[in-house]
Amino acid sequence: MIPRYCSRSFLENVMGSTFRWTLYYLRKGQLPDARNMLERMPDRGPHGRVGHWTSLLSRFSRFGFIDEAKSLFDIMPQKNQVTYNAMLSGLVQSGRISEACCFFERMPERNVVSWTSMLCGYANAGRIDEAKRLFSDMPERNVVSWNAMVVGLIRNGDLDEAKWLFDTMPVRDVISWNAMISGYTENFRMEEARVLFEQMEERNVVTWTIMVTGYCRIGNVEEGYALFEKIPEQNVVSWTAMIGGYAWNGFYREALSIFLETKKNFNLEPNKETFISLAYACAGVGFSCLGKQLHANLIIRGMESDDDDDGRLSQSLIHMYTLFGVMDFAHHIFVRNIKSCSAQLCNLMISGYIRSGQLEKAKNFFVTAPMCDRISWTSMIDGYLSVGQVSKARELFDVMPDRDAVAWTAIISGYVHNELIAEAIDLFSQMRTQGFHPLNLTYATLIGAAGAVANLDQGKQYHSLLLKSNFELDLTVQNSLISMYAKCGEIDEAHGIFMSMIDRDIISWNSMIMGYSNHGLVNEALQVFESMLKCGSHPNSTTFLGILSACSHGGLVDRGWEEFNSMRDVYAIPPGLEHYICMIDLLGRAGKLDEAEDFVLRLPFEPNSAVWGALLGVCGLKKNSKIAARAAKKLLELDPLNAPAHVVLCNVCAANGRYLHEKILRKEMGQKGVRKTPGCSWIPLKGRVHLFLSGSKISLEADEILSLLLGNLDERDCFID
């Protein structure tokens, strides 16, 4: 009897007995009893009983009892123009435009309110041509009519026509200006919005808030905040707009800071929208304690259940808790709001379980979820692949009811991640055979895989496919091509792609620097680095790893020290383990072994096996037995079965003529069970990769392979690790 959004207690406490009994009789079809209720209403006020009846009809319409409102209208003994307009407005606001149109035609009289109400109905329903005809036929227009037509045009995408109509308005009020400015901001046309804003003689807080929101929407948070500070009278809506602007643009700390400033200096009470933005901000900074306090504040204020209309508040809290990994809280909120469940909420829960390492719970939730979509299936497939459960991921993928290119890319990427390159290539072929167009990420993943195994032919095939299909190469694909060609020895090809790029990101610069560095092209690597700095790109730890590696290959000790110091002192990038190892290699290759050992002993942390292994490695190059012995001793204390440590120490002994000691060391290796990892070679030939391990037996196909190699093998087709 009562709509879900209108509780019984509300009707009993607020609407009164007349409302309830009249509604009861109308729903039961007992129209005479309902009419008797109307007759018993007191005759008071300048409008008499008609005013009371009309007020009752408006309340019926407002709370969704539109059929009862129609029945009430039919039995009313007397009606006036206001009554007719109230009934028309009820039909329009409930979306029953066809009935509203018929009612409008039957109205004995129409005034500007009637015409404007019908105009809004057509515009809100997207019937903009009918709205235009009605506006043209209106015998009388006021500023509300003009505003309604402008807003209708904007909502239906006719922004330029709306501006033409705005310019022809005989009279404008602040609502007219706000509507037009809002239209521009919602369509990211901030320059035109700013022109109108500057032309306004009188602005209200809504005007300022629209502009703040508009700048934040295009990511210009600084300009948004500059305007925000100039608002003469700030309120909770303007504060919420600024907090939301910071949160949606990733400035989570600033969003929280401005909220605390609001509470401290202005004592403004947050609303539902404020809490939604704050929940996303807490999630962004990872402050779980603050997020829980926020939730507790909602409960204390009684706002936790104030989410019946769109579920956005619950969604923000679930998002927050899933990022924290507090899945029990997230699940509690989900269950409490199960009636307003959506696929998006289910996906948040699934991804939350997967992110927190609870794959089994993710599977159970996926199986029992009220609704799942392609994102749900893809998330589960990706979850299985991320922990190496390839067979389960493939089973799920094979029964997926509605695959798309994203799902295909997820399974291909997962196979590559699990080093099943051949299977990933086969899946790519199936994807194309079944009519799915690969995404940029699909190509980037496979090109990256080709580079990882130095399979130049495969990488070239993917590049050719991209060119043949006129695929628009994005940054991800271009970066993967640079990396692939560099790793496969085609450094000139990599440089050609790099130079053809219109836009470059940090990955582009780093890929080119690392490519040159790995090829020993020191000057070229440094030139790219200098060009990067001139372009205003900020280097990161990977950039400096490439530069230090280049300096190591070129023996540029002074330049290496300069860059190592600048990464910390100039760019505030703390060196990582790999940077320290690079410096050890740089000093060792330059013959400065005493400096290298001193560098290790002065490290700001206790050297681990990787550090001592690096020092031992450069000692082997320069035959320094004393430092090598000390490094090997430290390394074997940390890792007694470390094969490279034993091997390098044996080589150092042999290089210094200590053959007896070398023999004793090799005997100890056998007694300890230390086994050297065999060297390997792999040769791509006619679509297959043939692997050869040091010391392995020759296969029966060896003669055939060797004969093919003599006729077909190019020097660049052989790679040795």
DSSP-assigned states of every residue in 14-58: IIHHHHHHHHHHHHHT-HHHHHHHHHTS---STTHHHHHHHHHHH
Residue count of the chain: 721
Q: What was the pLDDT predicted at 3?
A: 42
Residues 6 or more apart from 296 whose CB is under 8 A from it?
none
Buried b (16+ CB within 10 A) or exposed e, 193-225: bbebbeeeeebeebbbbbbbbbbbbeeebebbb
| Burial class of 413 by CB neighbour count within 10 A (0 to 12, 13 to 18, 19+) | buried
- Identify any residues that bridge with 719 across adjacent strands, giving them in sequence order: 682
Helix (H, G, I), strand (E, B) or coil at 324: helix
| Burial class of 415 by CB neighbour count within 10 A (0 to 12, 13 to 18, 19+) | buried
Q: What was the pLDDT predicted at 164?
A: 95
Residues of the chain whose pLDDT is less than 70?
1-49, 305-309, 620-625, 673-721
Break the chain into its structural domains and give their ranges.
581-677, 679-721
The closest of 530, 529, 535 to 511, measured between CA atoms, is 529
CB atoms within 10 A of CB 473: 19
Q: What was the pLDDT predicted at 642?
A: 75
In the DSSP assignment, the letter for residue 680 is E
The closest of 286, 364, 372, 283 to 331, measured between CA atoms, is 364
Q: What was the pLDDT predicted at 58?
A: 78
Contact criterion met (CB below 8 Å) for 630 and 596: no
Angle at 8 between CA 6 and CA 12, to 5 degrees: 115
Q: Taking the chain, what is the end-to-end CA distance rounded to the nearest angstrom?
A: 77
Q: How far apart are CA 476 and CA 272, in angstroms?
A: 39
* Phi-psi region at 126: left, alpha or beta (left = phi > 0; alpha = psi -120 to 50): left
Q: How far apart are CA 384 and CA 379, in angstroms?
A: 9
Written as six digits, the tokens of 546 are: 């490439």
Q: What letter represents residue 408's amino acid? A: W
The closest of 485, 471, 419, 486 to 440, measured between CA atoms, is 471
Q: How far apart are CA 196 and CA 184, in angstroms?
A: 10
Cα Dmax for the chain: 121
Residues 6 or more apart from 680 whose CB is under 8 A from it?
691, 692, 693, 694, 720, 721
Q: What was the pLDDT predicted at 596?
A: 93
Q: How far apart are CA 42 and CA 52, in angstroms?
A: 9
CATH architecture of 581-677: Alpha Horseshoe (1.25)
Written as six digits, the tokens of 198 are: 């500057």
CB atoms within 10 A of CB 527: 13
* Phi-psi region at 64: left, alpha or beta (left = phi > 0; alpha = psi -120 to 50): left
In the DSSP assignment, the letter for residue 12 is I
Contact criterion met (CB below 8 Å) for 488 and 449: no
Q: What letter represents residue 665's amino acid? A: L
Three-class SS of 54-83: HHHHHHHHHCCCHHHHHHHHHHCCCCCHHH
Q: How far apart are CA 81 and CA 89, in angstroms?
A: 12
CA atoms within 13 A of residue 235's CA, in its CB half-sphere: 8
Written as six digits, the tokens of 156 are: 């239906």
Q: What are the CA-CA distances from residue 259 to residues 161, 226, 237, 297 (Å)?
A: 39, 17, 12, 14
The owner of tokens 């290796």 is 669
The closest of 455, 414, 412 to 432, measured between CA atoms, is 412
pLDDT tens, position by position, 555-571: 999 999 999 999 989 99
Residues 6 or more apart from 112 whose CB is under 8 A from it?
138, 140, 141, 142, 144, 145
Q: What letter represents residue 614's amino acid? A: A
Distance of CA 614 to the CA centre of its chain: 39
Rg (CA), the chain: 36
CB atoms within 10 A of CB 260: 9
